[in-house]
């Protein structure tokens, strides 16, 4: 049983769709003050500023009862797609510690789409930090068909690593080599 209703993690709902229109908006990685990711997302929603906060479900035991909640996938990070004016409004919330401009808008949008696909698949995720480059692959079939990432080996297991290169972080899932093809 959830304690709270699910939070909005993507605003607007079509923010990460493939369409690239000419706009004065830019992608920003927002590093929030401690435990302020969801509060910032709520404020951005109320002022209609586009954002993506990757959330993953977590089940905990509280007083002998299972409780389901949603936690940020990347601790203290939220992704903002904003104009300069909206960026200033975001800074004015006093919930932001640092804000980093993403130099390659297409790359970060692609990376965030991949992360969203992994979260939606419901497979167990492992957060990976400080990534190094490896062989890029694409999933050949199944519910994750077309997803691109890098094969890494962790504790003797092959994992598909999907990265947000700008943050040097990512998430990985267990995968077998027959499920992927080199790009």
State pLDDT tens for residues 21-43: 668 999 999 999 999 999 999 99
3-state DSSP assignment of residue 99: strand
pLDDT the model gives residue 40: 98
pLDDT the model gives residue 49: 97
- 62 and 136 together in one domain: no
Do residues 67 and 61 lie in contact, with contact meaning Cβ atoms separated by under 8 Å? yes
- 68 and 96 together in one domain: yes
- 115 and 85 together in one domain: no
What CATH code is carried by the domain that includes residue 35?
3.30.70.940
Do residues 151 and 159 lie in contact, with contact meaning Cβ atoms separated by under 8 Å? yes
Mean pLDDT within 127-147: 81
pLDDT higher than threshold 70 for residue 4? no
- 75 and 155 together in one domain: no
pLDDT the model gives residue 33: 96
Task: List, as own/partner pairs, every contact residues 10-19 make where C-beta atoms lie below 8 angstroms and the sequence separation is at least 24, other chains included.
Answer: 10/51, 10/52, 10/53, 10/116, 11/41, 11/44, 11/45, 11/48, 11/49, 11/50, 11/51, 11/52, 12/50, 15/50, 15/51, 15/52, 15/81, 16/52, 16/109, 16/112, 16/113, 16/116, 18/113
pLDDT higher than threshold 70 for residue 180? yes
- 63 and 115 together in one domain: no
pLDDT higher than threshold 80 for residue 129? no
Q: Quick: pLDDT tens for 156-179.
A: 888 899 989 899 999 999 988 778
pLDDT the model gives residue 133: 53
Residue 55 sits in which domain range?
9-101
- 132 and 149 together in one domain: yes
**Better pLDDT: 183 or 83:** 83
- To the question of pTM greater than 0.85 for the whole model, the response is no
**End residue of a domain, out of 101, 124, 150:** 101
- 96 and 32 together in one domain: yes
Bridge partner list, 170:
128, 163
For the chain, the domain total comes to 2
Mean pLDDT within 62-90: 93
What CATH code is carried by the domain that includes residue 153?
2.30.30
pLDDT the model gives residue 1: 47
Distance CA 84, CA 144 (A): 35
- 70 and 126 together in one domain: no
- 89 and 130 together in one domain: no
**Mean of pLDDT over the chain:** 89
pLDDT the model gives residue 132: 57
**Better pLDDT: 81 or 7:** 81
- 97 and 32 together in one domain: yes
- 92 and 121 together in one domain: no
Does residue 1 sit within a domain?
no
């Amino acid at each position: 049983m959830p304690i709270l209703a699910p939070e909005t993690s993507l605003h607007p709902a079509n923010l990460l769709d493939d369409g690239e229109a000419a706009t004065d908006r830019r992608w920003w990685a927002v590093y929030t003050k401690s435990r302020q990711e969801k509060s910032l997302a709520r404020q951005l929603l109320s002022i209609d500023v586009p954002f993506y906060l990757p959330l993953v479900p977590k089940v905990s035991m509280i007083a002998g009862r299972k409780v389901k909640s949603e936690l940020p996938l990347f601790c203290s990070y939220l992704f903002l797609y904003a104009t300069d004016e909206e960026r200033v409004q975001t800074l004015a919330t006093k919930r932001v510690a640092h804000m980093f401009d993403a130099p390659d808008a297409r790359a970060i949008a692609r990376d965030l789409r991949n992360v969203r696909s992994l979260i939606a698949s419901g497979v167990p995720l492992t957060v990976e930090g400080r990534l190094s480059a490896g062989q890029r692959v694409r999933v050949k079939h199944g519910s994750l068909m077309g997803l691109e990432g890098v094969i890494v080996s962790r504790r003797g297991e092959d994992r598909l690593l999907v990265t947000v290169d700008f943050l040097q972080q990512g998430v990985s899932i267990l995968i077998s080599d027959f499920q992927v093809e080199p790009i």
